A and B are shown apart, each in its own frame.
Chain A
Amino acid sequence: MARTGFRTRVSKASPERRERKIARLHDVVHSQSERLEEQSELAALRETSSERPLSPGAVLALQSTVGNQAVSRRLAQDGAIQRKEVTVGTETVEVHSILGVLTKKGKAEQLEAEAIIKALNDTYGVDPSSSKLVEAIKAQYTNVPAKVTKALKARKWRMIELRALADALKHYAPILGKARATSSRGGEAQEVVAVGKGAQAIDTNKPTGELDTTTLGEYFKGKKVMGLFKASEGHHDEFPDEKTELVATFVHEIAHGVLAYAYDEFVASGSGGFWTDQNTKSGAKGAEAPPTKYGKTNAREDMCDTASLFFITPDKLSGFPKRLAFMQKVGKDWIPPLKEAPVNLGGGDAETPVTPDSVPVPVIA
């Protein structure tokens, strides 16, 4: 009865109201889907094999006969379940919607995006700004034709990327934002101050330079900005899934900024004798080879890939004792010995002191 009445009301409602109801229905479907039996799912699949688009009324009729998951599947088949772009701060973020209307999940994603973006600024001193990314690329790639730099575009963030970014920044928390002041890096300005999402990067800083389709992420030293690019969407090679790969890409790009001070130390003691200098392999037999193929490009890429493995899958560094020891030392060095640490005289607001033993903590993101 209730279902019949609901269907009648929907059929008389305005298109906008109908869409909202469908969106609400989808949320219900989502929460109830686990209760569906296998037989019902199979029946639904048989029932929904048609390529014709369904009207909202037909959608509800289908829901009443073969089950909620059938509706969910059919909405997806019709392209009704979509990603809607919302604005958070200066950034465009893609969240869940149906027929252009934010679902509960979409609203929750928007709130989450707002929280992440606020935390990036407040906690880590990193401003999410894709327009700053575009400007940083232009400032660094000065020899490419103007038509190429004019074609640079910001791109919408996906939730998976914002979550990965937040996870990546946690690994550098002791030397970012307000925490940096009490670290051994406190005397130096923070090397990453903005992050953006871009459609494409540029392949080379020459008059022949053009937009590329291969750059996953890049750090732009001149403006202290790091970028993530469209090529990273759906990509993973070193790590088992896209989310982990994204965290690794961010950890890698952040390292190009905040760990650049340690490049020479990495060459001298952290790379197991593999590098003569930042650009040149030693060619020594028996040297500890980089743990990734990309790390063989130069010592800087090696160190940044090593940082990704150390923070995300430290077990993968178990066969690379020099690199593992180097990263452990880097993390401990961030926290000055207690006798040298600045004394907080601010009263009751002091945070719990961070001890050398607590950093870094290699955590699976």
Chain B
Amino acid sequence: MKREPFFWITISCGLVIMAFILLPLIEMMTAPSLSMLKETIKDKDVVRSIWLSIYTAGLAALISFVLGTPLAYLLARRDFMGKRLVEGIIDLPIVIPHPVVGIAILSVAGKNHWIGHLLSELGIRVMGSVTGIVIVLTFVGMPFYLNAAKNGFENISPRLEKVSRSLGASMFSTFFRITFPLAWRSMLIGIIMCCARAISEFGAVVIVAYHPMIAPVLIYERFEAYGLKYSQPVAVWLVSICLVLFLILRILTLRKTREA
């Protein structure tokens, strides 16, 4: 059968895009030699920064999960005045340039602002601290969790909750017995997306906290000071560890679903 030219155009564009995404990544991943990778992972600074990246991103996702779930539920279930506005505000961190996010956070957390003043009274330091990093990562990651969780809730018929209530379940029981078991997969996808976004953040973090160094900042520093060759192995380790973590999470949850 003779294919139309249109078909060949779609295929060629697809191949160009695949190559565009994969070539640089593969090139980077295969550039460092094994001995170099080994040496890099023995470097205490590298291990510390990758670990810091992972656990601050994890914390950001946890905070998004705890604070964001109720709001996501509210947005999925109720119509109210200004709902569009709230949804727009939630998406703001996605569209704001990253360094601007850092500057915006510092303008609230700085000594000149009453919140910053209050925080420093309480002994909480934002500038150049893990706290600061977590705040920034939560800021940029939260929208991804909120939107995924909201979609998950929207896909559950409110009638299931109504039936549950009529059978004697309180709103809390209904949420934990019906809504959560049906929505948790969307919530988990939200958590993974939030984490992924947080781990990749550089511009906002570098303004709030150059030290302690998260992995992207360390990669940038090595690139600036020693060049491409020395930044590549750290990048490879960061990407590999993140991929493995997400993969494990997905496999674990897939297995659980099959049991249920």
Chain A bound to chain B? no
Contacts from A to B (Cβ < 8 Å): none
